[in-house]
Structure 1
């Protein structure tokens, strides 16, 4: 059964700079369906600041043909071994909105154990170059909403130049996430996300965009000294 994984890892500066131009995850890796290799960003940070683009911190979102293929990659590949020094979560696909190239969306969909189970959301967008300033104007308030939301357990953004932008968030419950999306949360100015969605519908920021929802199945390692972000989950 296909498996998705999301990774956060800090790497040496030389490898990070090289990764800006060429992904260290080879596209012909055995068992790999597709991977997005990106530089991590701080949600809501000023656009032109060192806290915005975290050059030595990378985020990888990948799809694998099976968990066995993924395990083999971590054990035998040079960069796979580097990933074991960071943090990652393994995911089962639940829902998709939009469409993005590269990934093969499974027909089989996972279900949460209960309404109080945690859920993971990943967005990926291929930006229209001339739409980036407008996207940033509408997107920054949404970043702050997600960053500060009481329903999130972990949230961040990532980018791969020239035009790929992504977000990753772990939510305590699916209901808290959907309330945020539709502007029904108890946070201040709760309609920041729904307003941005209306602007996107009026005039799209992207030529490709998807939101993917996942059931987390296991969590490994630590990130910035923290581990076990997801409660009641198999952790290693």
Structure 2
């Protein structure tokens, strides 16, 4: 059965730059996105917006054996194995990017009370970047500061690939944020940004995916047990 994974790791600058420029191939690896981690809500011009030595990697594998072999045998895999990772079961997809278009819209296997992981991936329209930053940064802060997220970050690979990753205590909490059902002034931010995207799209391609966390390994910046217990 196919498996997805998300990884956070510190890497030497040369290794990080090489992986960003040309993600490696490997047996059983269906797709790999290598990005530089960013702090959600950080100023648009800031070292915190793109940290080359902090890799955020999202991948699809034929099975868990392929992932294990990559972590043990490949140079980038050994870097990732020293960091933090969560292994994921795919649940839902909205929108599409070419490399992941084979995923179904909905597997039907959802429980609103269980923890979920949300991953977005987009290929930007470069002239729309200023609009995207304007509308996106408030949403970044909304997700970062939400009481039901245990980890939230953004990531990018120049010139046009951006992504986000967030871990939620429950699917109900995540969808409440998406549809503006939370209290307070911040509740409308995501809904308004999506309405602006519908008016004039920021992206060539965009997808947001929901996953069930299967297992968590390692630590990130002194934190472990980031995924809430069921």
Aligned to 1:11: 11
Runs of 4+ in 1 over 6 A off after TM superposition: none
User: Which shifted more, 36-45 or 12-21?
Assistant: 12-21
Aligned to 1:40: 37
Distance 1:188 1:153 in 2: 21
Aligned to 2:216: 219
Higher share of residues assigned helix: 2
Superposition pairs of residues 151-230 of structure 1, within 5 angstroms:
151-230=148-227
| RMSD, matched Cα | 1.5
TM (norm. structure 2) is 0.95
Superposition pairs of residues 77-88 of structure 1, within 5 angstroms:
77-88=74-85
Secondary structure of 2:186's aligned partner: coil
User: Compared with structure 1, are the counterparts of its residues 51 and 17 closer, same or farther at alpha carbon in structure 2 (3 Å cutoff)?
Assistant: same
Alpha-carbon deviation of 1:187?
Answer: 4.5
Q: Does the CA-based 8 Å contact 1:93-1:106 persist in structure 2?
A: no
Q: List per-residue Cα deviations over 1:160-217 (Å, max 9, x = no partner).
A: 0110010000000101100100111124321100000000011111110001000000
Alpha-carbon deviation of 1:82?
Answer: 1.5
Secondary structure of 1:167's aligned partner: strand
TM (norm. structure 1) is 0.92
Q: Which structure 1 segments of 5+ residues have no match?
A: none
Secondary structure of 1:170's aligned partner: strand
Q: Which structure 2 segments of 5+ residues have no match?
A: none
Q: Does the CA-based 8 Å contact 1:89-1:220 persist in structure 2?
A: yes
Q: Does the CA-based 8 Å contact 2:94-2:105 persist in structure 1?
A: no
Secondary structure of 2:54's aligned partner: strand
> How many residues are aligned here?
229
